[in-house]
Amino acid sequence: MTRYVKVALMGSGYAGKSTLIKLLTDDTSNLDANYKPTCGMDCGTITLDKFTKISLVEMGGQIHFEFMWADLLRGSKMVVVVTESNPKAVLKTRQILQKYKKELEGVQVIAIANKQDLPGSMKPRSVEDLLGVPTYGMVAIDPKQQLHGYKLIVNGLRDMVQVAA
C-alpha cells in the first residue's frame, strides 16, 4: 500500500511554486509552461520508494485564496516556503511566515530563495537571516536544478520518514 507524505508549498503568487512542482514531480501534464495564477491549489507527486510518495501541494498564493491556507497546511510533514529573491518579495515572505507562525509550530519549514538567476537577487544566506528558517537558492526554471530541488525535499523528510532502500 502506498503511503503519501504531504509537503505544502507556501508563498506569494508568482514566487515559482507551480514551476517547482513541474520541475520535481512525476506527472506534470496538467501544469502549463505559461504563467497562470494557481486557482486554489496545484498538486504533484514524487515517488520516494516502492511504498512512499511525496504529495506536493501548492497553496495558491493569491490573496483571495488565503482563507484556505490554514486548512492546506494541516497534516503537512514539511512546509516549503518559496520566495522570489528580491528584497521586497523576501520581506513579504517574512510577513507571511510571521502571520502563520502558530500553524507552522512543530512543522519542519525550509525556504527556497527562487529566481537566483535574476539580477539584484539576495543570496540565500541573507534571505535566511531575514526569514529565520533554513534557506536554499534555486532557479526553478532551470531543469538542471531538478536534482538539487529533489534533494532539498527528500533530505528534509528523511529524518521523519523511514525510507526503504
Which residues, 16 to 55, sit near ligand GDP by CB under 6 A?
A: 16-19, 35, 37-38
Dihedral, 99, 104, 108, 110 alpha carbons, nearest 10: -20
The H-or-E segment that residue 79 falls in is strand 78-84
Selection from ligand GDP, Mg ion, none that 118 binds (CB < 5 to 8 A by kind) is ligand GDP
114 binds Mg ion (CB under 5 A): no
38 binds Mg ion (CB under 5 A): yes
Which position among 14, 43, 107, 130 is part of the footprint of ligand GDP (CB under 6 A)?
14
Q: In the complex, what is the shortest distance from the CB of residue 116 to ligand GDP, in angstroms, rounded to a whole number?
A: 7
Which residues, 146 to 165, sit near ligand GDP by CB under 6 A?
A: none
Which residues, 126 to 145, sit near ligand GDP by CB under 6 A?
A: 139-141
**Residues 85 and 118: beta-carbon distance below 8 Å:** yes
Alpha-carbon distance of 48 to 38, in angstroms, equals: 25
Which segments of 3-74 are extended strands (E)? 3-10, 41-47, 52-59
Alpha-carbon distance of 118 to 86, in angstroms, equals: 9
What nine digits make up the cell of 150? Answer: 529533489
Alpha-carbon distance of 74 to 147, in angstroms, equals: 27
Which position among 117, 133, 150, 154 is part of the footprint of ligand GDP (CB under 6 A)?
117
Selection from Mg ion, ligand GDP, none that 19 binds (CB < 5 to 8 A by kind) is ligand GDP
Residues that bind Mg ion (CB under 5 A): 17-18, 38
Binding region for ligand GDP (CB under 6 A): 13-19, 35, 37-38, 61, 82, 114-115, 117-118, 139-141
